């Protein structure tokens, strides 16, 4: 009989329970499993570790990673994260709860999701938000499918080639298996080609158009003229956004977009080697019945008090099975809490300041890098915190050399550029140190 801290069973307890069940041994409980399927050899696993051994193990793994000062974005951004966030999100009542099916003992979760939905609507300028998706790329893939459900008898979706690489690839995978046709809108000098949009829309059959707000080159796209032709063609306008940037850039609501998606990582979530993050998805209220995922709504309880519950569940997989708007079940609830606490702490002023400082730092970095003579300008278009340059030295070597010097910067892209990013966390001294290293390259 094992003595182990996660198992409260004493030998007498086990005996008592077996007696009640009418079994002689624990193995008797598996009498319905064909005996040749019971695994009889020892499992090929390490010996059980103590807590201290587990700590030591992970510390030794951690020592094999290099802590770098991050000057790259591409879907994961090194923004400041206030101390309050992990303090709140690690509270057991939030952390160890399940999906809030029993509203009477889940008002904490339900309320923060309602707040989260409200903040996402505020940032995007759209009417409704769901309770979260896995991450930005999967949210984009779901939005593409949703555009098909919202429009009748259409079979294809247009996607901009200026979307982040991992967004494009995820959308491609989902679309390939779902059986919808993707057609690409090429880049025209770094932004989505408007001419190509008109051309493709004219061919007909378009259910949706997916374009980025801030694109893979860091450029803030001017999408002011997109909504009209897209809607005239009976299609849905889907915008992929950086929610942090939405505090200052034109919103999907203002641009006439129907659906907005993106990754909430930039709202206070640690980079953590790629996850967990949180996808967000908002839309106009006409389309709420086609929105995938969970949604929290306000109502009253039997005593007339304002309370919150999961609502519009008839869209979901546990009720509608193969006819559901999506298969999503667990989402990223706790990460939605991260972003909600972050946005509460930052407020409108903090969000503006984060963007202002990121803008200033990135533009300083841009000028300094160009002055080294190691790069050429690629695009002359407005950017916020991220940009690309054309390297005049070997890109891969440059990245490795900078990494040796303690920086993650100059990520090579498939177009032959290198990508940089500077958030409000980057100081002038860090930028100057990076630029000094680049000069030596």
Partner 1 sequence: MSKINEGFFYSEDHEWVKVEGNVAVIGISDYAQHELGDITYADLPEEGDEFSANDEFGALESVKASSELLCPVSGKVVEVNAELEDAPEKINDDAYEAWVIKVEMSDPSEVESLMDAAAYKEYIEK
Partner 2 sequence: MKYYDKLIFELSKEGRTGFSLGKNEWTETSDSLPSALRRSEPAVLPQVSEVDVVRHYTNLSQMNFGVDTGFYPLGSCTMKYNPKINEEIASMKGFQGLHPLQPASTVQGALEVYSGIEKALSAITGMSRFTFNPCAGAHGELTGLMIMRQHHLLRGDLKRTKVIVPDSAHGTNPASAAVCGLQVVVVKSNADGLVDVSDLKPLLSDEIAGIMMTNPNTLGLFEKEIKEIASLVHGCGGLLYYDGANMNPLIGVARPGDMGFDIMHLNLHKSFSTPHGGGGPGSGPVGVCEKLANCLPAPVVAPEEDGSLAQAFGKDACGRVSGFMGNFGVILRAYSYILMLGRQNLGFVGRYSVLAANYIKESLKEWYKLPIASVCKHEFVFDGLVNDGAVKDAEGNVVKEGATTLDVAKRLLDYGFHAPTIYFPMLFHQSIMIEPTESESVETLDAFIETMKVIAQEAAQDPDILKGAPHCTPISRPDETTAARNPLLKWQDSVC
Contacts of partner 2 in 125-154 (CB under 8 A): 125, 127-129, 131-132, 134-138, 145
| In the block, residue with structure tokens 């984060």 | 354
330-359 positions binding partner 2, by CB under 8 A: 330-335, 337, 340-341, 343-359
Binding mask 22-61 for partner 2 (x = CB under 8 A): xx--xx-xxxxxx--xxx--xxxxxxxx-x-xxx-xxxxx
35: DSSP letter: G
HSE (CB half, 13 Å, CA atoms) of 123? 35
Q: Which stretch, 187-195, 318-326, 354-362, 399-407, contacts partner 1 (CB under 8 A)?
A: 318-326
Q: Shortest distance, CB of residue 315 to partner 1, whole angstroms?
A: 8
Give which of 285, 284, 262, 274 is closest to 339, Cα–Cα.
262
User: Which residues have C-beta within 8 Å of that of residue 278, sequence separation ≥ 6?
Assistant: 132, 133, 134, 135, 263, 264, 265, 269, 331, 332, 335, 336, 338, 339
- Of the ranges 143-151, 197-205, 235-243, 316-324, which one interacts with partner 1 (CB under 8 A)? 316-324
Q: Residue 214 — φ and ψ, nearest 5°?
A: -105, 125
Sole residue written with tokens 């999701």: 113
Q: Which positions from 150 to 189 touch partner 2 by CB under 8 A, shown as an x/- string?
A: ----------------xx-xx-xxx-xxxx----------
Of 181, 184, 205, 360, which one interacts with partner 2 (CB under 8 A)?
360
Choose the contact partner of 97 out of partner 1, partner 2, none; CB within 5 to 8 A by kind: partner 2
- Measured CA to CA, the distance from residue 397 to residue 50 in angstroms comes to 42
99 binds partner 1 (CB under 8 A): no
Q: How far apart are CA 250 and CA 124, in angstroms?
A: 9
420, 408 Cβ separation under 8 angstroms: no
Beta strands, E only, 161-215: 181-185, 187-188, 191-192, 206-212
Kindly tell me which of 295 and 389 has the beta carbon lying closer to partner 1.
Answer: 295
Q: Which stretch binds partner 1 (CB under 8 A): 80-88, 96-104, 317-325, 372-380?
A: 317-325
Q: Which of residues 282-321 bind partner 2 (CB under 8 A)?
A: 288, 294-303, 305-309, 311-314, 316-321
Output the smallest distance, CB 202 to partner 2, in A: 26
The residue (of 199 and 286) whose beta carbon lies closer to partner 1 is 286
Q: By three-state DSSP, how is residue 130 classified?
A: coil
Q: How many CA atoms lie within 13 A of 159 on its CB side?
A: 24
Spell 246-261 as b/e; 16+ CB within 10 A means b: bbbbbbbbebbbbbbb
Q: Binding residue for partner 1 (CB under 8 A) from 17, 319, 370, 392? A: 319
- Report the residue from 74, 107, 122, 313 that binds partner 1 according to the rule CB under 8 A: 313
The least distance separating partner 1 from the CB of residue 116, rounded to whole angstroms, comes to 23
Instruction: Give least dist CB 297 to partner 1, A.
Output: 11
Partner whose binding site includes residue 55, from partner 2, partner 1, none (CB under 5 to 8 Å by kind):
partner 2
> Which element (helix H / strand E) includes 240?
strand 236-241
Q: Which residues contact 418 (CB under 8 A, 6 or more apart)?
A: 375, 388, 389, 390, 391, 395, 398, 399, 410, 411, 412
198 versus 427: smaller Cβ distance to partner 2: 427
Interaction of residue 256 with partner 2, rule CB under 8 A:
no
Q: Under rule CB under 8 A, which residues in 195-224 are in contact with partner 2?
A: 220, 222, 224
Q: Which of residues 174-213 bind partner 1 (CB under 8 A)?
A: none
Minimal CA–CA distance to 257: which of 221, 224, 215?
Answer: 224
Residues of this chain, 80-119, that bind partner 2 according to CB under 8 A: 80, 82, 84, 86-88, 90-109, 111-115, 117-119
Residue 380 in contact with partner 2, rule: CB under 8 A: no
Q: 158 — phi, psi (to 5°)?
A: -95, 130
Of residues 151, 162, 326, 339, which one binds partner 2 by CB under 8 A? 326
Q: Could you tell me the smallest distance in angstroms from the CB atom of residue 86 to partner 2?
A: 6
Closest CA to 354 of 363, 345, 346, 342: 346
Name which of 356 and 415 has its Cβ closer to partner 2: 356
In the complex, least distance from residue 321 CB atom to partner 1, rounded to whole angstroms? 10
Q: Select from partner 1, partner 2, none the partner in contact with residue 242, using the beta carbon and a kind-dependent cut-off of 5 to 8 Å.
A: none
How far does the chain reach from its first CA to its final CA, in angstroms? 62
Q: Does 289 bind partner 1 (CB under 8 A)?
A: yes
Binding site for partner 1 (CB under 8 A): 289, 312-314, 319-320, 323
């Amino acid at each position: 009989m094992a003595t182990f801290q996660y198992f409260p069973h004493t030998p007498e307890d086990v005996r008592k329970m077996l007696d009640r069940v009418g079994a002689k041994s624990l193995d008797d409980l598996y009498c319905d499993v064909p005996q040749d399927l019971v695994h009889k050899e020892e499992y090929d696993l390490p010996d059980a570790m103590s807590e201290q051994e587990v700590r030591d193990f992970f510390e030794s793994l951690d020592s094999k990673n290099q802590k770098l000062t991050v000057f790259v974005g591409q879907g994961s951004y090194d923004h400041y994260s206030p101390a309050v966030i992990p303090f709140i999100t690690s509270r057991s009542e939030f952390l160890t709860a399940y999906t809030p099916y029993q509203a009477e003992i889940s008002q904490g979760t339900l309320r923060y999701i309602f707040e989260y939905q409200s903040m996402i609507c505020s940032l995007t300028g759209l009417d409704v938000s769901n309770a979260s998706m896995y991450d930005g790329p999967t949210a984009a893939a779901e939005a593409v499918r949703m555009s098909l459900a919202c429009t009748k008898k259409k079979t294809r979706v247009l996607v901009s080639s200026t979307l982040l690489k991992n967004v494009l690839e995820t959308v491609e995978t989902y679309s390939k298996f779902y059986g919808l046709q993707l057609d690409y809108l090429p880049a025209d000098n770094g932004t989505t080609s408007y001419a190509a949009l008109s051309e493709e829309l004219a061919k007909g059959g378009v259910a949706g158009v997916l374009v980025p707000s801030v694109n893979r080159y860091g450029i803030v796209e001017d999408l002011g003229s997109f909504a009209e032709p897209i809607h005239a063609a009976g299609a849905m306008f889907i915008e992929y956004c950086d929610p942090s940037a939405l505090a200052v850039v034109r919103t999907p609501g203002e641009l006439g977009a129907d659906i907005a998606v993106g990754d909430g990582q930039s709202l206070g979530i640690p980079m953590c080697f790629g996850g967990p993050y949180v996808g967000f998805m908002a839309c106009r209220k006409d389309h709420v019945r086609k929105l995938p995922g969970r949604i929290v709504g306000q109502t009253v309880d039997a005593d007339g008090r304002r309370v919150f519950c999961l609502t519009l569940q008839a869209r979901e997989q546990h009720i509608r099975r193969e006819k559901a708007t999506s298969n999503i079940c667990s989402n990223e609830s706790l990460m939605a809490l991260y972003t909600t606490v972050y946005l509460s702490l930052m407020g409108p002023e903090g969000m503006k300041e984060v963007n202002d400082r990121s803008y200033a730092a990135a533009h300083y970095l841009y000028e300094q890098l160009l002055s080294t003579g190691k790069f050429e300008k690629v695009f002359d278009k407005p950017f916020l915190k991220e940009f690309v340059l054309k390297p005049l030295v070997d890109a891969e070597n440059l990245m490795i050399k900078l990494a040796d010097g303690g920086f993650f910067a100059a990520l090579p892209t498939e177009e032959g550029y290198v990508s940089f990013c500077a958030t409000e966390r980057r100081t002038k001294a860090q930028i100057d140190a990076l630029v000094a290293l680049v000069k030596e390259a």
